Amino acid sequence: MRIGVPKEIKSDEYRVAMMPVGAEMLVKGGHPVFIETQAGVGSGFSDDDYRAVGATIVATHEEVFDKAELLIKVKEPQPAEIGLFRPGQVVFTYFHFAASPELTQACLESGITAIAYETIRDKAGRLPCLTPMSEIAGKLAPMEGGKYLEKPMMGRGILLGGVPGVAPAHVVILGAGVVGTNAAKVAAGLGATVVLMDVNLERLRYLDDVMPANVHTLYSDPHTIREQLRLADLVIGSVLIPGAKAPQLVNRQHLKEMKNGSVIVDVAIDQGGSIETSRPTTHQNPTYVVEGVVHYCVTNMPGAVGRTSTIALCNATLPYAVKLANKGYEQAACDDPGFGEGINLVAGRITNAAVAESVHMKCQPLKGSR
Ligand SMILES: NC(=O)c1ccc[n+]([C@@H]2O[C@H](COP(=O)([O-])OP(=O)(O)OC[C@H]3O[C@@H](n4cnc5c(N)ncnc54)[C@H](O)[C@@H]3O)[C@@H](O)[C@H]2O)c1
């Protein structure tokens, strides 16, 4: 199968979807690999690194799209890329369809088979291709939040960890999954007082056992959230209902009750965001202020640490890319129903139930899928 890896064109995106080691594995398996020139430089991989393992470097974005039967990317297709798709082409990347009915419609019309990293499940029901990026975004979230709490960045002028004689910041984390847990570890490590909230009591029980003493768990209900927002210096939004739009837990009225200069880092923005006033931002222009609260809503946070993120992403996606190339998506889904859950669109129809529900369209599951 001919495999194409384009250079990412989303603003400040430095990741690449395949490392030279992955290209080598696929080439050795008999699959020609086409890499767009300079695709790897943001992550520290040169064209020569790919040439050395037998991949072909091509000059343009258009040429990669044109040559590939299987296109492997990082970020959701950008408007300029949609016109380059052709019916039947298999595209393996993050799509986040639930957050964008427009993207869903455009990809349906293009006739591609869309396989979304973020909805693939492993045997334990986890999301193996989302997890590494969530670990990174989670670790970045308190660091970014801490930066924007600084006075010159429009924040309250609060140091996350405080100092002897001065209280640390109060950090509220909504969603105690992978992002939330990693955010809690970093924020707690810096000395903040951390409140980790979730609707999953089993999860909270476990975290209560393993987290340091400055992390407190609370059940996430509207009253407790509102109480915590009033105390918060930094709020991190990290909820997820897989495949669906993020539930909105904070509205504009809540912001009016928050401290002036407090900060919200809405990591869940790629699934639509968990705060009413969140809208996607970029690394170039990461923040804006509403009701005195600084909002940071960058949709590709891991892109900022491109090398770490590329390695972490490719470690998770390569085994699936190899299966896809060797077997095709139908057989791969048959052999691994969890992988089948990653197949969101096929030839103009939606095949993932959560995605269909989110964009209010009909689901037509693949035969034999769960
Ligand atoms: N912006 C970025 O660059 C970036 C990067 C990685 C991940 N993300 C996003 O971060 C979000 C979280 O990802 P994750 O991997 O941690 O997911 P996860 O599934 O591990 O965790 C989500 C948690 O949210 C909880 N939850 C659901 N509804 C809730 C509610 N009403 N109140 C409190 N908790 C609730 C779930 O019980 C779960 O524990 C996702 O939207 C993901 O796409 C964004």
Task: Flag the least confident range among 96-105, 237-246, 252-261, 340-349.
Answer: 237-246
pLDDT (0 to 100) of residue 29: 97
Q: Which atom of ligand 1 is nearest to the CA of 303?
A: 3
Q: Is 239 helix (H, G, I), strand (E, B) or coil?
A: coil
Do 281 and 310 sit in the same domain of this protein?
Answer: no
Measured between alpha carbons, how far is 228 from 197 in angstroms, rounded to an integer? Answer: 10
For atom 21 of ligand 1, the residue with the nearest CA is 177
Whether the predicted pLDDT of 369 surpasses 60? no
Looking from the CA of residue 179, the nearest atom of ligand 1 is: 16
61-90: pLDDT as tens digits: 999 999 999 999 999 999 999 999 999 999
Q: Closest residue (by CA) to atom 38 of ligand 1? A: 177
Q: Does 18 have pLDDT greater than 70?
A: yes
Mean pLDDT of all residues in the chain? 96
Which atom of ligand 1 lies closest to the CA of 176? 39
Quote the CA–CA distance of 330 and 357 in Å, as a whole number. 23
Please tell me the predicted confidence (pLDDT) of residue 326. 98
Question: Does residue 352 form part of some domain?
Answer: yes
368 band by pLDDT with thresholds 50, 70 and 90: low
**Residue 312 structural domain:** 3-120+305-358
Same domain assignment for residues 206 and 345: no
Q: What is the pLDDT of residues 132-150, one digit of tens each?
A: 999 999 999 999 999 999 9
Q: Are 186 and 291 found together in one domain?
A: yes
In this predicted structure, what is the pLDDT of residue 119?
94
Clarify whether residues 281 and 343 are in a common domain: no
Co-location of 69 and 192 in the same domain: no
- How far does residue 179's CA lie from ligand 1's centre (Å)? 6
User: Which amino acids are annotated catalytic?
Assistant: 96, 270
Residue 127, in any domain of the structure: no
Q: Is residue 271 part of a domain?
A: yes
The yes-or-no verdict on residue 242 having pLDDT over 90 is: no
173-186 average pLDDT score: 98
Same domain? For 149 and 280 the reply is yes
Measured between alpha carbons, how far is 283 from 107 in angstroms, rounded to an integer?
A: 26
Q: What is the pLDDT of residues 194-224, one digit of tens each?
A: 999 999 999 999 999 999 999 999 999 999 9
Lowest mean pLDDT among 11-20, 21-30, 200-209, 239-248: 239-248
| CATH code at position 174 | 3.40.50.720
- Rounded to an integer, the average pLDDT of 161-165 is 98
d(CA 205, CA 193) in angstroms, rounded, equals 18
- 233 vs 216: CA distance, rounded Å: 16
Q: Is residue 95 part of a domain?
A: yes
The residue-averaged pLDDT of 16-45 equals 98
DSSP class of residue 244 equals: S
Beta 90-93 vs 234-237: how paired, if at all? unpaired
Q: Does residue 199 lie in a domain region? A: yes
∠ CA 46-25-124, rounded to 5°: 110
Q: Are residues 206 and 292 in the same domain?
A: yes
Q: What is the CA radius of gyration of the chain?
A: 21
Answer yes or no: is pLDDT of 176 > 60.
yes
The answer as to whether 46 is a domain residue is yes
Number of domains in the chain: 2
* Nearest in space to 45 (alpha carbons), one of 14, 72, 74, 75: 14
- Does any domain span residue 152? yes
> Is 200 among the domain residues?
yes
For residue 350, what are the β-bridge partners? Answer: 345, 363
Question: What is the CA(250)–ligand 1 centre distance, in A?
Answer: 15
Q: Is the dihedral of CA 319, 321, 326, 327 positive or negative?
A: positive
Beta-bridged to residue 36, according to DSSP, are: 58
Backbone angles phi, psi at 27, to 5 degrees: -60, -45
Both 284 and 316 in one domain: the answer is no
Question: Which residue in this structure is represented by tokens 């909002």?
Answer: 295
Shared domain check, 193 and 286: yes
318 in the same domain as 293: no
In the predicted model, is pLDDT for residue 183 greater than 80? yes
The per-residue pLDDT for range 287-322, each reduced to its tens digit, is 999 999 999 999 999 989 999 999 999 999 999 999
Last residue of a domain, one of 299, 328, 344: 299
Percent of the chain with pLDDT over 90: 93
Q: Which of 299, 314, 338 is the last residue of a domain?
A: 299
Of 299, 332, 347, which residue is a domain's last? 299
